Chain A
Amino acid sequence: MKEEVVRLENVWVHYNRVPILEGINLAIYQHDFLGIIGPNGGGKSTLLKVILGLIKPDKGEIKVFGRPPEKSRERIGYLSQYKAFDRDFPISVWDVVLMARMGLYEMFKRYSEKDKKLAENALKTVEMLSYKDRQIGTLSGGQQQRVLIARALVSNPELLLLDEPTAGIDAAAQREFYELLKKLNEKTTIVLVSHDLTAVSVYVDKIACLNRKLFYHNSKEIRPEDIKAAYQCPIELIAHGVPHRVLKEH
């Protein structure tokens, strides 16, 4: 049995009394490459933030590496949903990536040689080291995303949480990006959230469907009734081309 990385038991989250997550049970194991799909507003980003401990559930238990999420943050790399951050912000690629080596005590110190070595390695992994002195806004969308991935990788996380990592990236860059993730998956557990079912299903090993409730069978299989329950409109979705390998023979 592989080691359990994340465990959620009956997790409920409300926003303004409206439920966002309803009784989520989920176990993620070492070396999983899990894709979570679902409609916008289905609670995908919220679920990641619960795993990070950024959002406290109203009910339920979360364990990350067997501990409360806040205590495990050092072992998690996180890429938040693409933010239209200020493209003019005075920051270089190098400083964006080094930011991952900050902490409450490190805040008062200069970056160490070890910090710099780790940042350099992370930029090498995403093949962006030669851009280290560029201002972040002068890069293309795909390059910016690579830099942010590098930032998530700096501290060699054992769990990587990615929120819509391919949004705003062209198809060719997307393919490269998924190939990179595939490589990272050899060492790291990856959870990837996306509304783009087609792209995700080709690369991930397991798929979960989330629309307030989670439909997941610890495999790549989604039952037609799951999609029907998660998306209110199953026929339209299938007509838009869900690859059949995802759906069970029926």
Chain B
Amino acid sequence: MIESLQYEFMQNALAAGLLASIVCGIIGVYVVVNRMVFISGGIAHTAFGGVGLSFFLGISPMIGALFFAIASALGIGMISKKTKLPEDTAIGILWAVGMALGVIFIGLTPGYVPGISTYLFGNILIVSSGDLRLMLVLVTVIVSVIFLLYKGFFALSFDEEFGRLRGIPTGYLYFLLLCLIALSVIVMMQAVGIILVIALLTVPAAITKQFTYSMKKMMIFSILLSMLFTVSGLLISYELNIASGATIILVAGAGFIISLLFSKRSLY
């Protein structure tokens, strides 16, 4: 198992998994405590429209996906804050329309389009150095913003109205949080794919929430758990020669079930 790490693709895969773990540990905590799982799913699936458009235009799929994810994050934010349309309705529509756009664009792209399943289900073994650089930039942005505005996001999450009374710009912070979720989706897309992103975003935070009521501790332990899931999933998939993204998710799912056995909180 260890000798597999001498291959560059394994080193890249490992680096990608660790980077993805940092964001899903941090952003996942916000997603779980603010009950934004469905929103995150919507942003992730809309991003597939961007993947399709990128193939059609012949640019890097991550760029197109990034553009679509940010657009859908802002769209969901606008709809939930400025209109009376129910949020889940808006998300459901964006979710499916984004996927449909992706399918149409890929259909319009001449010739064979390789590796669609990479973006849907992830393939951490083909992460290039260019992808890694983009991921590193995104992770740096996400971590710095959270570090700088931690107290603001904390107020937004626990009691938005009270935060607003104290002069915290909760409206802007909500949009910013949606954008950070969009960036996280892009970081994780290579590792586990659009469809499986929500699992890696929610499972670690859902596990740690059962054992601590400190948000900072939740973040630290969620990062460590995600690292455990991605690295062990990666090694298992390599050994058994099965899909890496799906293996990571299954390891995480198993971890969640085991955590329930040790949970101190009553869950029903």
Contacts and interface: CB of A to CB of B under 8 A. Distances in A.
A90 B209 contact: yes
Interface stretch (B119-127, B157-165, B241-249): B157-165
Interface of A: 52, 54, 73, 78, 80, 83, 85-86, 88-92, 95-96, 99-100, 102-104, 106-108, 135, 151
Given A88-B209, A90-B218, A54 B166 contact: no
Contacts of B168: 102-104, 107
Nearest to A83: B159
B215 interface: yes
Contact of B213 (A73, A78, A90, A103): A90
A107 B153 CA distance: 9
A91 B215 contact: yes
**Residue from B155, B158, B168, B218 with most neighbouring chain A CB atoms (10 Å):** B158
A135 B214 CA distance: 9
B130 interface: no
Interface string B203-220: 000000100111100100
Contacts of A52: 165
B261 interface: no
30 contacts: A54-B161, A78-B162, A78-B165, A80-B161, A83-B159, A85-B159, A86-B35, A88-B209, A88-B265, A89-B33, A89-B158, A90-B213, A90-B214, A91-B213, A91-B215, A92-B213, A92-B214, A96-B158, A99-B158, A99-B159, A99-B162, A100-B162, A102-B163, A102-B167, A103-B166, A103-B167, A104-B169, A107-B151, A108-B148, A151-B162
B253 interface: no
Contact of B166 (A80, A83, A88, A102): A102
